[in-house]
């Protein structure tokens, strides 16, 4: 429903790392806003677009305050709330809509999508997710660890390609190891695995290609800026000019010659 006020709240996924990876709609919304709200990392990522808007820097762990503030401001102003990747994928969209629903404010909200870590990481690795996949966050701050384990088991048993987000943090260093142990109980150790750190963030991007049986060799390398793709035994590693990539066939080979 269109609001009677002149304000508007855009909840914006700014993509994986650089302004070039944002949608044109997201870029326009940031440029045309009165206020831009977000945590420092995301604001730095889009600083070339910040010129004249009021900037409200927020901090990790202050998401509820940030959501309330953005909704309040948007009753009278055009506000861009920025979130990394896509705002629906473990991002701010849910919380902001819940706050708006709860406070019953007359505010016009539009969610603008962004490139999320799984598609950013997949593009670096080649073609690893060209079939059904499951995305699982290993953060147990808001989800009980028992439920995360249940989902890991179900996704492995159902032969989904599995993307792991939030593999580690300072407080939760063993979650990645534990997740790999669970997946390994249900999946062949030869399944290709790709690990991408800082996908599409210029020179800081790094990636590794390995197999499920060996991926824990990279345990120390994995951090909170890394996403991991565990493919299935139908996927394969393709080496070209010394660079390894992952291909997950969609099944065309069963129907066509090429």
Tokens 């996927």 found at: 235
Name the minimum Å distance from CB 190 to ligand SAH. 24
Distance in Å, CB of 253 to ligand SAH, minimum = 30
Q: What is the DSSP string of 19-33?
A: GGGS-HHHHHHHHT-
Beta-ladder partners of 109: 9
Regarding 113 and contact with ligand SAH (CB under 6 A), the answer is no
- Residue 15 has what DSSP assignment? B
Query: What is the helix (H) or strand (E) element at residue 73, kind and residue range?
Result: helix 63-73
Mark residue 103 as left, alpha or beta (left: phi above 0; alpha: psi -120 to 50; beta: remaining): alpha
Residue 136 touching ligand SAH (CB under 6 A): no
The 3-state DSSP class for residue 34 equals coil
User: Does the footprint of ligand SAH cover residue 17 (CB under 6 A)?
Assistant: yes
Quick one: 7 or 121, whose CB is closer to ligand SAH? 121
Q: With contacts defined by CB under 6 A, name the span among 1-9, 27-35, 146-154, 195-203 that binds ligand SAH.
A: 195-203
Question: Quick check: 192 binds ligand SAH (CB under 6 A)?
Answer: no
For residues 147-176, which are near ligand SAH according to CB under 6 A? 165-167
Q: Residue 52 is encoded by which pair of tokens?
A: 């004249």
**From the CB of residue 140, how many other CB atoms can be counted at a distance below 10 Å?**
17
* The only residue of 68, 186, 201, 236 in contact with ligand SAH, by rule CB under 6 A: 201
CB of residue 17 to ligand SAH, shortest distance in Å: 5
Which position's Cβ is nearest ligand SAH? 85
Shortest separation between residue 2's beta carbon and ligand SAH, angstroms: 28
Read off the DSSP letter of residue 38.
E
Which region, judged by CB under 6 A, interacts with ligand SAH, from 53-61, 89-97, 150-158, 241-249? 89-97
Give the total of residues touching ligand SAH (CB under 6 A): 26
* Contact status: 91 vs ligand SAH (CB under 6 A): yes
CB 192 within 8 A of CB 128: yes
Tokens found for residue 144: 């009980």
| Cα 142 from Cα 140, distance rounded (Å) | 5
**What residues make contact with ligand SAH under the rule CB under 6 A?**
16-17, 83-86, 89-91, 116-117, 120-121, 165-167, 196-201, 224-227
């Amino acid at each position: 429903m269109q609001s009677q006020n002149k304000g508007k709240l855009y909840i914006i996924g700014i993509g994986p790392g650089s302004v070039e990876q944002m949608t044109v709609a997201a870029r326009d919304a940031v440029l045309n806003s009165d206020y831009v709200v977000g945590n420092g990392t995301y604001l730095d990522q889009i600083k070339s677009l910040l010129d004249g808007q009021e900037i409200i820097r927020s901090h990790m762990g202050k998401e509820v305050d940030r959501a309330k503030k953005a909704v309040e401001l948007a009753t009278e102003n055009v506000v861009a709330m920025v979130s990394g990747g896509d705002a629906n994928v473990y991002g701010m969209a849910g919380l902001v809509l819940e706050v708006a629903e709860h406070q019953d404010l007359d505010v016009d909200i539009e969610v603008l999508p962004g490139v999320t870590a799984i598609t950013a990481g997949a593009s670096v690795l080649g073609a690893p997710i060209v079939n059904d996949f499951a995305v699982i966050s290993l953060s147990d701050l808001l989800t009980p660890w028992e439920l995360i384990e249940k989902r890991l088991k179900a996704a492995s048993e159902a032969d989904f390609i599995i993307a792991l987000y939030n593999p580690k943090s300072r407080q939760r260093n063993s979650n990645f190891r534990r997740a790999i142990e669970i997946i390994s109980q249900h999946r062949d150790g030869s399944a290709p695995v790709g690990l991408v750190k800082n996908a599409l963030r210029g020179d800081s991007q790094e990636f590794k290609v390995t197999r499920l049986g060996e991926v824990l060799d990279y345990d120390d390398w994995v951090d909170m800026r890394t996403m991991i793709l565990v493919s299935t035994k139908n996927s394969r590693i393709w080496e070209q000019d010394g660079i390894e990539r992952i291909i997950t066939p969609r099944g065309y080979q069963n129907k066509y010659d090429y």
